[in-house]
């Protein structure tokens, strides 16, 4: 199977602080947040193409951050890359960045991917098990997302803070990345979504709006997204 990967690292990290979080060294080893994310995916040997979305003009910093992993440096930059690889400039929103990534992935791939995974570059602790399970589910259903069941009871509130809906905890899940989709259908859905004047927070919403149902795969509490300084 031909599988492509998009790692999104084009955000401004405004909630984290002045430093771009994907380029920071992790406290427990020599990898950066971004290089650790990429390393786990590349070590599976499942991917034929990789696009990383970054801010405009950030390519040198991104290469430096990725090269913190000797494995990633050898895999991508030492002249013997085993996969098609490119950076692309992100957009103003995550939705725009993923769409840019999909178009770039299409242009660098000799054969269009069957499945594409979209992963937050700020989730360095993704596991091989999560990756393989979401691919397996997407192969069956067309779209899948790793998820973990909610620990706390969840409520829906209105703008005044009044609870308007009491949710059943056993049906509530927190979704993670990588999210996996049939590539051609996701690209088509993104093309339609960019003109419908709706801002989507993740790709499962776009898939649900234009394609079909999304199913959950097995997530893991260790697959945490770094949002604030305390997350490190």
CATH code for the domain in which residue 20 is found: 3.90.550.10
- Is residue 32 in a domain? yes
State the total domains in the chain.
1
- Is residue 50 in a domain? yes
Q: What's the CA angle centered on 199, arms 194 and 203, to 5 degrees?
A: 75
Buried b / exposed e across 95-121, counting CB within 10 Å, b at 16+? bbbbbbbbebbbeebeeebebbbbbbb
- Is residue 33 in a domain? yes
Angle between helices 33-42 and 59-66 (to 10 degrees): 60
Element (H, E) at 63: helix 59-66
Partnered with residue 115 across adjacent β-strands are 3, 182
Nearest to 186 by CA among 3, 22, 52: 3
- Is residue 158 in a domain? no
User: Residue 203: is it exposed, middle or buried by C-beta count within 10 angstroms (0-12/13-18/19+)?
Assistant: buried
Partnered with residue 53 across adjacent β-strands are 8, 88
- Is residue 164 in a domain? no
- Is residue 84 in a domain? yes
What range defines the domain where residue 32 resides?
3-145+173-227
Per-residue confidence of the chain (232 residues) as pLDDT tens digits?
999 999 999 986 555 665 789 999 998 778 999 999 999 999 999 999 999 999 999 999 999 999 999 999 999 998 777 799 999 999 999 999 999 999 999 999 889 999 999 999 999 999 999 999 999 999 999 999 999 999 999 999 999 999 999 999 999 999 999 999 999 999 999 999 998 999 899 999 999 999 999 999 999 999 999 988 777 7
- Is residue 198 in a domain? yes
- Is residue 156 in a domain? no
């Amino acid at each position: 199977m031909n599988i492509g990967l998009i790692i999104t690292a084009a955000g401004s990290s405004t909630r984290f602080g002045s430093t771009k979080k994907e380029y920071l060294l992790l406290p427990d080893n020599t990898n950066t947040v971004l290089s650790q994310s990429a390393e786990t995916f590349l070590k599976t040997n499942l991917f034929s193409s990789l696009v990383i979305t970054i801010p405009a003009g950030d390519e040198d910093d991104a290469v430096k951050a990725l090269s913190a992993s000797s494995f990633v440096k050898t895999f991508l930059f030492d002249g013997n890359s085993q996969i098609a690889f490119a950076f692309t400039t992100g957009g103003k929103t995550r939705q725009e960045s993923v769409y840019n990534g999909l178009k770039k992935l299409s242009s660098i791939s000799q054969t269009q991917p069957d499945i594409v995974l979209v992963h937050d570059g700020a989730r360095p602790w993704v596991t091989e098990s999560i990756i393989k399970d979401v691919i397996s589910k997407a192969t069956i259903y067309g779209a899948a997302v790793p998820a973990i069941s909610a620990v706390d009871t969840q409520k829906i509130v209105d703008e005044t803070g009044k609870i308007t809906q009491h949710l059943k905890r056993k049906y509530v899940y927190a979704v993670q990345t990588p999210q996996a989709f049939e590539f051609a259908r996701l690209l088509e859905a993104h093309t339609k979504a960019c003109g419908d004047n709706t801002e989507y927070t993740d790709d499962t919403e776009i898939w649900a709006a234009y394609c079909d149902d999304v199913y959950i795969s097995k997530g893991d509490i260790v697959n945490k997204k770094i949002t604030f300084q305390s997350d490190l």
